[in-house]
Amino acid sequence: MRKIGVLTSGGDAPGMNAAVMSIAKSATMYGMPLVGIKRGYNGLLRKSTSVYDDLQELYLDTVLDIADQPGTYLRTARCTEFLDPKWREVAVQTLHNMEIDGLVIIGGDGSFQGAMRLCELGIPCVCIPGTIDNDLAYTEMTLGYETAVNVCTDAVRAVRATSRSHDRPHIVECMGRHCGDIALKTACATGSEILIVPEMRWSIEQIATRLNKQLFKGNTRTTIVLAEGCWDSMEPFDHYKFLKDHGETCYEGEPISSERLASILKHMCGMVEMRHTVVGYTQRGALPCAKDSGFAFEAGNLAVRLLRDGVSNQVIGVKQGQVFYMPIQDALRVEKHFRRDLYELVNSL
């Protein structure tokens, strides 16, 4: 294998740049030219007017300074066209034209699916798990997850300080799509009293009971940490009717949200005020923590070594603290187990 390419795909994640830097360093070491592919798989579809918008030769000098920067230098995107075999053929043609013999793909499960399809078309690929969500069961960590937890932990600590000052409970919403790991670890790290995640069935009435219990004990600054996907596992509740009946503004068809939940709980628990904070994209755009950067460094080097040695169709991960690799299709079959014990511990008192 001579020339290789690298792309970042899906939502950006802290540590993606560190991985690209490590890949560039390794490629230089092994004498393999490196091409950066812009905006995920889109960069292979030749839709831009200028090739330089899609592909860029990457030299160590170019990327040396990006290792500790947030975001992704290569840009990223979700690419629905890649589900279509016709567009995948275009991608393969681009790679042949550019004489790119193999790819490192940094992204989540959707990006891994794309890599599998490219492998079937004869393009060797190795993947690095880059997503804050930690929703890939085969690995103990995904790039960006630890940073996202740190960001949420800082946010909750700050929120708990102001909550204490005002004797005012607060809801903090973390990202994670359908995975509650960021919220779970944040709740554990901050001593938050109530946790709501997509993996566990819950009801608004149940949360009101728990909150009342805290208020009765005198804990007026109770924190509810919730994962953004938790609405999928909520017992049905007519929030529109409830809010209208209690004189709050709510529009018909408006989905339930942290803000609306705060209003409902305020009325259910007879509080004067209840607030909410959505941590949001600061989780994705944060400076990578040392653990994520360290993983990126090792994973980037391993990815290049695998391609150099002709090993393809693999994903890199962490098992018992060690960086390892396994076939993509096997990794995607591993079932995720939610830490129910920790969830119950957080919600137990």
Positions touching ligand F6P (CB under 6 A) are 11, 108, 131-133, 175-177, 228, 284
Q: Are 131 and 317 in contact (CB under 8 A)?
A: no
What six digits make up the tokens of 185? 């670890």
Least CB distance from residue 96 to ligand F6P, whole Å?
Answer: 30
Nearer to ligand F6P, 67 or 179 (CB): 179
Nearer to ligand F6P, 80 or 93 (CB): 80
Pairing outcome for strands 170-174 and 275-278? parallel
Least CB distance from residue 75 to ligand F6P, whole Å?
Answer: 13
The single residue of 133, 135, 181, 292 carrying the catalytic annotation is 133
Nearer to ligand F6P, 143 or 302 (CB): 143
Nearer to ligand F6P, 76 or 223 (CB): 76
Query: Residue 334 corresponds to which amino acid?
Result: V
Q: Are 187 and 339 in contact (CB under 8 A)?
A: no
Rounded distance between C-alpha atoms, residue 268 and residue 290, angstroms = 43
Active site residue 101: no
Rounded distance between C-alpha atoms, residue 76 and residue 98, angstroms = 20
Least CB distance from residue 155 to ligand F6P, whole Å?
Answer: 15
Chain center to CA of 234: 22
Least CB distance from residue 138 to ligand F6P, whole Å?
Answer: 17
Longest dimension (CA), the chain: 70
Rounded distance between C-alpha atoms, residue 130 and residue 19, angstroms = 9
Catalytic residue numbers, as ranges: 133
